[in-house]
A and B are shown apart, each in its own frame.
Chain A
Amino acid sequence: MKTKHKLLTIENLSTHFFTQDGVAKAVQGVSFDINKARTFALVGESGCGKSVTALSIMNLIPKPPGKIVSGSIFLEGDNLVKLNEKKMRRIRGNRIAMIFQEPMTSLNPVFTIGDQIAEAIKLHQKKPSNQAWQMAIELLKKVGIPDPDRRVSEYPHQMSGGMRQRVMIAMAVSCNPDLLIADEPTTALDVTTQSQILELLSSLQKQNNMAILLITHDLGIVAERADQVAVMYASRIVETSSAKDLFAEPMHPYTQGLLKSIPTLGCKDKRLYTIEGNVPNPLQFPTGCKFHPRCPLGCDDKRCQRAEPELRQIGDNRTVACWYAAGYETENERKEYEKKYGKRK
């Protein structure tokens, strides 16, 4: 593998929330690599653990009740899970920055946007205030806000959602981070603004050579922007692949279902495909493969009901966690299966 291009390596990350009703295993054994200057997309339904993964990388899990119970997150050699709060603060904003889903509430309403961008700059770089202010204006220009000299001293409530998201992006890229975590950056924006924001992110990525972890449930965005994709379902990754391969040939039945349920232009008369059932409750996951109650292939399969498939490498740069995926089963496992449950249909 091309280890030298890896920026962030997550190994076997598990984050649990110890609530009064029991342990919610929000993230279980998640592993993936993010390469330098590439876009890595994390896809999944609401509540599948995407955002918790992102917050775990930043070490911003609200604790208690949350806790990273195992695993490691390496940012070019430093294990972020082990770092103390002080060292972690130096990484936040400086090497890993984050933008959030809701631009309307991510800016502090009582400060001007210039104050907020300048604060982010001053926290990590020794800069006098007026210089930080000048940089803030430059950044606003860079993220495409018209008339930045004037806009810099305005308050968040005077801006539209798209502009606020641009301001958030300006804050996030102010210290040239190596990795930008974008947690559903366009969910709260309308479609035309969405594409502008994504365009902006791409151009900043090229300029700053920065990697992006794009968290989304919008497969359209993934197809357009991502290099690598990981599909999450019920707190685990079920499939990773390059974006091209994923759309050409999805291997996990969940991914297949997701792709089938995207409406396509021109087919009016067919009903849209849906994945039956609901996302399982993280307090009570089903046994075996977590997807089996909703799976068209494995719902009656005894093994799917009992044994959870691990993520295995299939072919070049692809991993999948499904007993039914082509090339997943080893010969021994197949024999064992047939001995136990009889011949597969």
Chain B
Amino acid sequence: MNNKPTITKKQLPKGVGFWKDGFRRLARRRMAMVCLFIIFAYFAIAAFIYLAEAFNWQLSIVDWSSQVGEEYQPPSKENIFGTDFLGRSVLRKTIYGTKISMTVAFWASIISLLIGVPLGAIAGYFRGWVDELIVWLYTTLSSIPYILLILAFALVLKDKSISFSWLHLGTLQLSGITSVYLAMGLTSWVGICRLIRGEIIKHKEREYVLAARSYGCKNARIIFRHLLPNVFHLIIINFSLRFVSFIQAEVILSFLGLGAKNQPSWGAMIDTARLDLPKGYWWEMTAATVAIFFISLALNIFGDALRDSLDPKLRVQ
């Protein structure tokens, strides 16, 4: 049937997919790569602390609670960031705080995406009463002042436990940071839900959705296999930008006394340092702020770079 001379394999350009292409664009931005490195470094520190605790490594850098010198020592050679009111190393506390902040921000982002994305997709795809219900839910939720809502959730969830015995998984103690990230995750899915809903409404009118239905796809398959991959770049971008706001929210919650207890988080450090600052003990505040500053900056720049290289509408070369 086809006797035309065919193009040899060498002549055809190699196929490049959406993701590969996007990440290739990203890799060309030096600033984004530096930021990615910083983000990885923070994650690595957090992971390292988890490992050290899990295997009980006796490392001085992880041991934040022991006294290393006199109280309120200014930064010196032995203690780069000085010591706090109990003579503990501020550097070690800052490093340990990475674990708390990254854990909280990570799980809060995951929880909010797990709630927001499916709800937004279902609302946008089915419309009708399902849409009205979900829109009602999130407009109600978003009309409550955010801090108030998060406080309410955190207070309700505090020191409770959820039993997963019906799944043979034991119980989840909602102590300390668990209640913090649950509260943040459960209250902040509105933005992503709205975004995904709008995108799905736009995408479901495209002909490939009709084509998929015309060869017998189920609704669930169309939503999760055909539509979500088309908006997935938005989810990733949103994740990276959301992460920053959760790190900052953790600081605010700790500041309000609802954060991690008996563990140094950046928020808790700022909270204690705020009383020391007028006395001239600036180093604890500085250490925590610098730690927050770099991760926030890196995530913001990286998020923007992600958007530029993954969003088809912004792709310029």
Which residues of A pack against B, CB within 8 Å? 58, 60, 64, 89-94, 97-98, 100-102, 105-112, 119-120, 123-124, 141-142, 144, 146-147, 150, 153-155, 158, 168, 171-172, 203
When the two chains form the complex, which single residue of A124, A142, A155 contacts B18, counting CB atoms closer than 8 Å? A155
Q: Is the CB of A106 within 8 A of B2?
A: no
When the two chains form the complex, which single residue of B17, B128, B206, B218 contacts A155, counting CB atoms closer than 8 Å? B17
When the two chains form the complex, which single residue of A64, A94, A106 contacts B216, counting CB atoms closer than 8 Å? A94
How many B residues touch the partner, as a band? Answer: 20 to 34
When the two chains form the complex, which single residue of A92, A109, A144, A150 contacts B215, counting CB atoms closer than 8 Å? A92
Residues of A within 8 A of B225 (CB): 119
Q: Is the CB of B216 within 8 A of A123?
A: yes
When the two chains form the complex, which single residue of B12, B214, B217 contacts A58, counting CB atoms closer than 8 Å? B214
B226 at the interface (CB under 8 A from A): yes
Which residues of B pack against A, CB within 8 Å? 1-2, 4, 6-7, 9, 12-13, 15-18, 128, 206-208, 210-218, 225-226, 229-230, 232
A197 to B207, CA, bound (A): 19
Q: Is the CB of A100 within 8 A of B207?
A: yes
B286 to chain A, nearest CB (A): 46
Q: Is the CB of B214 within 8 A of A97?
A: yes
Residues of A within 8 A of B12 (CB): 147, 150
Q: A58-B213, A106-B211, A168-B211 are in contact. List 10 more A-B contacts (CB 8 A).
A: A60-B213, A64-B128, A100-B214, A106-B207, A124-B216, A146-B2, A147-B6, A150-B12, A158-B13, A172-B215
Residues of B within 8 A of A98 (CB): 211, 214-215
Residues of B within 8 A of A154 (CB): 15
- Given A90-B216, A108-B230: A144 in contact with B211 (beta carbons within 8 A): no
Q: Is the CB of B229 within 8 A of A123?
A: no
Q: Is the CB of A146 within 8 A of B7?
A: yes
When the two chains form the complex, which single residue of A60, A94, A146 contacts B6, counting CB atoms closer than 8 Å? A146
Residues of B within 8 A of A155 (CB): 15-18
- Given A123-B217, A155-B15: A110 in contact with B229 (beta carbons within 8 A): yes
A171 to B211, CA, bound (A): 10
A53 to chain B, nearest CB (A): 14
- Given A92-B216, A93-B216: A110 in contact with B211 (beta carbons within 8 A): no
Residues of B within 8 A of A153 (CB): 15
A344 to chain B, nearest CB (A): 48
